[in-house]
Amino acid sequence: MSIERPLRVSLYWGGKIHYEDGSICYLPRTSNRTFSLRHRIGYDELVDRIYEYMGVDRGLFKLNLFLRQPCGRTSYNVSPVVDDETLEIMYDVWNELVPYIAELYIEKEEIVQNPLVSSTFIPPTTNIGPMMSLVHACMDPTRYRSYSSTVVPETASVSQRPHGDCVRDVVEPRFTSGLRTDVEYVEGLDSIQSFRDHVSPNHVPSYGFDSTAGPSHCNTLIDDDLENDVEDVEESESVDVSDSDSDGENERRVVHQDLGNQQPFAAFANLSYVPRGFEFFSNLGNINDDDQFTDESGLERIVTFSEDNNHICLHMRFESKQQLSRAIRMWSINHNREFRVVESKSNTWVAKCKSAFERSTTTVANVSYPPCDWCVRAVKKKTHGLWQITKWVNDHNCVGDLMSNSNASLTSSVIARHIVRSIEDDPGFKVKNIVSHVKKVLKVDVSYKKAWYGRRKAIELIFGSWDANFAELPKYVDALMQSNQGSVIRWLHHSDSTDRLKTFKYVFWAFGPAIDAFHMCRPVICVDGTHLRGEYKGKLLVAVTQDANNHIIPLAYAIVDEETICSWSWFMEQLRYNVARDRYPICVISDRHNGIIHAMTHYDYWQEPLAFHRFCLRHVRSNLMSHFKGLHLRRLCWAMGKARQLRKWRAFKRELRNMFPDAWSYLSNIGAEKWCLTHDGENRWGILTTNISESYNNVLRGARHLPIRACIDMTFHRTVELFKTRREDARHCRYPFPPKIWRRFKNSDLKAGTHRVVEFDGSSGVYKIVTGRRVDGKGGNTQTVKYFDKTCSCGKWQCYRLPCSHVMAVCRHRGDNPGALVDPQFTNRRWAVQYSGKFSPLPHPDTWFQPDWELRADSSKYVARRAGRVRARRIRNEMDERDPEEPRRCTNCHQSGHNRRNCPNFRA
């Protein structure tokens, strides 16, 4: 049955009921567990929950429940809860009082099977402990009766005391619901001495043995127990309430218990004597006594903080103040509370709840909340040198009205330690993903700025500083080369370097499997550079190529100070001697940077016919538009560059020269062979731009802000992951050709069905192809195919090394296999061979060889940190603008009329 509003229930155990000023409370005042009820539950279900919360065994312990209920404006009493009828009192009070938090006091009673007990032994449920006795005293204190007793001096020994004075008064309680009326009760006495003085053998009931057998049985059982209990009382007359001070020494404050001046039933609140079966109450202590810090031998058990479970308790030890502060922060975040540090010294650290210092102005005036008691105090012990908690309140008693969902305890440093593992797996972990991750795991809203700073601190925590990375770099790259044979690392140091200490200038690296893959790929390399985003000013140069499936393969990397003639010349030299080696001819596609042009024109190994230098069409057009304006000029430049038929190129040229003569003069100085497919000589394999290198720079965006050693390490693991994924793709390919090549092959085959083939000379393989008419009226063009020369007047066969639709039509006419016309570079076998190289992990850093020289960074290249975020993306320019009249194309098949989400080719 659901209820109108949730009912909060606080459970208390492990302490004691205390009577004060005519009212009942529980010590310690902090609840062990609080939960909410959204529907009525019965007594049995409530007990099942409490057993689960306390984690006790039903077969070993019985739980006695007592409900604290108001009996006036400022006074309270307790009543036992034994069934559904007595539990109904809690719901009745909840309906009448708003707000109301139900408090249940729990007595854990051990079930002991005594071997002296006969078959008629009364079960433990009939033994009512001190808590039940206190209940009776509070409900009806006038029921106490006085008996005459033999006065025995307090100095008398146990053997001198009368053996028959063991009496217990029988109280008739007023509770009838499920309670026995023959409950035994000890009188409200001032001390154990007066308890002994009121003993009478006439009132000893039978507890499993024959009471008529003589006083010896009673004396044997009762006196042994009392003698032990007297010793316990004498030892517990002083209570240590503080075990340390700010100097780390144990300062003890002794509190003497004076029971004689209290009310009769108040004596039981501090009485150490506990009848058999109630050992749970024999060790009533302070806060968090449920965390046992002594083992069976009585020695203190050392409890050290573990970040795995973030459990905090009294006497717990921490390695440092920083670890202590982090632990308290995480505990507060998990409990959705904030705290303030009251004291922070070299040997003392104190924090309290935030609500203890300020109250919100929006708090309802007629609602009065008590101050929060939560606090923690820790000191640095001189004995072991660790920080230890000396005071700890395990729960807040504030309502949290001052807390927002953006918990101030969650700092960027806490976020950094929380996302360390995610940054280790992916250094390019996006800030927006960090915000979502923190919200999902910690249930806290964080700003983008705080998440960004947390990410930066996590990177520093994992990968270290730039200076440390430069110091570790020599032995790291040596271990990399030793573990992966064929990998190349080359250095160039400043002129002020010595044999023992070298100043960093340039570093070049390439991985062996990638070098071997290049010699099985098409001879085209795209080079480009990008900025580093860390504290060290520099540029990252990359060289990439394409595999049989038109995917990117990274070949080589270099970190230099700037993109200059010197740096590019050094990089291109290392690329030729360590990667390209003796392969020729090679086509290099790049932008029109002076350093690249200088290297390609001043070194013999990069000059024609050993190599060909071609410009990126996008960069040529961007350079043109920086000098001249006009949307139509932009379109004509692009149309000339990508034209594959000479007749079309000439038509575009005439139009551009007539409309923009100055622009044509600018393009003529570049040279048509550098940027036009018609004049290229089929060296660039149809690759118009350096988009593949630009794309890979974007992939490395997460590595560009890392220190140098971490940057090299990330490129290594990215290449390993790429080879592993592509190797699996090639192994499980179910098409005759790699997927992208197969898609183009099928499209050409579909178009070939609409063409008409006219044979001119079958022996020499000369055919005329008339294309089919389309719905829009286009088509009907004539193309010439020279089958044995592997040429087509459309230019696609020569340019891409793949049969066009005209050649496919001739194959159908001749009955040949069109798959035999595909270049060997695009076969599945070649694709698998390209990724057959193997990588090996690096050994443990302790086994790395230490070179006989050290490396240091160039101090002049460090840049001061600017406030705020560092730009990670390049500034958008003319190349990023899309022609408004150009139709949008699918990113999967590059056709217009649909996008990648509803691409029919992709679904196929």
- List, for residues 740-768, the tens digit of each pLDDT value: 999 999 999 999 989 999 999 988 999 99
Q: What is the pLDDT of residue 869?
A: 57
pTM (2 d.p.): 0.61
Q: What is the pLDDT of residue 224?
A: 39
The rounded distance, in Å, linking the Cα atoms of 406 and 420 is 21
Share of the chain above pLDDT 90, in %: 37
The rounded distance, in Å, linking the Cα atoms of 575 and 557 is 9
Segment 95-122 shows an average pLDDT of 68
Give the model confidence (pLDDT) of 481-538 as tens digits. Answer: 999 989 999 999 999 999 899 999 999 999 999 999 999 999 999 999 888 877 788 8
Better pLDDT: 281 or 550: 550
Q: What is the pLDDT of residue 176?
A: 36
pLDDT tier at 291, thresholds 50, 70, 90:
very low
Q: What is the pLDDT of residue 663?
A: 94
Segment 253-282 shows an average pLDDT of 38
The rounded distance, in Å, linking the Cα atoms of 835 and 855 is 34
The closest of 150, 128, 122 to 207, measured between CA atoms, is 122
Better pLDDT: 658 or 225: 658
Q: What is the pLDDT of residue 745?
A: 94
pLDDT at residue 151 greater than cutoff 50: no
Q: What is the pLDDT of residue 292?
A: 43
Give the model confidence (pLDDT) of 402-422 as tens digits. Answer: 567 788 888 888 899 889 888
Q: What is the pLDDT of residue 172?
A: 39
pLDDT tier at 673, thresholds 50, 70, 90:
very high
Express the helix, strand and coil content of the chain in percent, nearest 5 each.
40, 20, 45
Which has the minimum average pLDDT: 16-30, 41-55, 735-749, 877-891? Answer: 877-891
Share of the chain above pLDDT 70, in %: 72
Domain 2-231, classified CATH 3.30.470.10, yes or no:
no
Exposed (0-12), middle (13-18) or buried (19+): which is 149, by Cβ within 10 Å?
middle
Give the model confidence (pLDDT) of 862-874 as tens digits. Answer: 776 655 555 555 5
**Structure tokens that stand for 461 in this block:** 């925590």
Tokens 């499209």 correspond to what residue? 747
pLDDT at residue 664 greater than cutoff 90: yes
pLDDT at residue 76 greater than cutoff 50: yes
pLDDT at residue 616 greater than cutoff 80: yes
Domains of the chain, by residue range, sit at 2-231, 412-463, 617-678
Better pLDDT: 540 or 271: 540
Q: What is the pLDDT of residue 174?
A: 38
Q: What is the pLDDT of residue 358?
A: 65
The rounded distance, in Å, linking the Cα atoms of 74 and 25 is 12
**Structure tokens that stand for 813 in this block:** 């006419």
The closest of 802, 853, 477 to 644, measured between CA atoms, is 802
Which residues are within 8 A (CB) of 163 and not within 5 positions of it... i.e. 6 or more apart? Answer: 201, 215, 218, 219, 223
pLDDT at residue 853 greater than cutoff 60: yes
Q: What is the pLDDT of residue 14?
A: 83
The closest of 552, 569, 551 to 560, measured between CA atoms, is 569
Q: What is the pLDDT of residue 61?
A: 85
Average pLDDT, the chain: 77
Segment 332-336 shows an average pLDDT of 86
pLDDT at residue 181 greater than cutoff 70: no
Q: What is the pLDDT of residue 650?
A: 94
Which has the minimum average pLDDT: 67-71, 150-154, 401-405, 428-432? Answer: 150-154
Q: What is the DSSP letter of 307?
A: T
The rounded distance, in Å, linking the Cα atoms of 518 and 269 is 85
pLDDT at residue 478 greater than cutoff 60: yes
Segment 358-376 shows an average pLDDT of 64
> What are the angstrom distances between the C-alpha of 666 and each of 543, 616, 637, 657, 692?
29, 16, 11, 11, 27
Q: What is the pLDDT of residue 838?
A: 92
Cα 682 versus chain centre, distance? 51
**Structure tokens that stand for 823 in this block:** 């270049």
- DSSP for 534-567, written as a single string: SSB--EEEEEEEE-TTS-EEEEEEEEESS--HHH
pLDDT at residue 259 greater than cutoff 70: no
Tokens 């192809």 correspond to what residue? 769
pLDDT tier at 384, thresholds 50, 70, 90:
confident
Which residues are within 8 A (CB) of 426 and not within 5 positions of it... i.e. 6 or more apart? Answer: 702
Q: What is the pLDDT of residue 220?
A: 36
The half-sphere exposure of 876 on its side-chain side, counting CA atoms within 13 A, is 3
Q: What is the pLDDT of residue 707?
A: 87
Q: What is the pLDDT of residue 873?
A: 54
Q: Which amino acid is at 639?
A: A
pLDDT at residue 726 greater than cutoff 80: yes
Q: Which residues pair with 353 in a beta bridge?
A: 339
pLDDT tier at 150, thresholds 50, 70, 90:
very low
φ and ψ at 748, to 5 degrees?
A: -65, -35
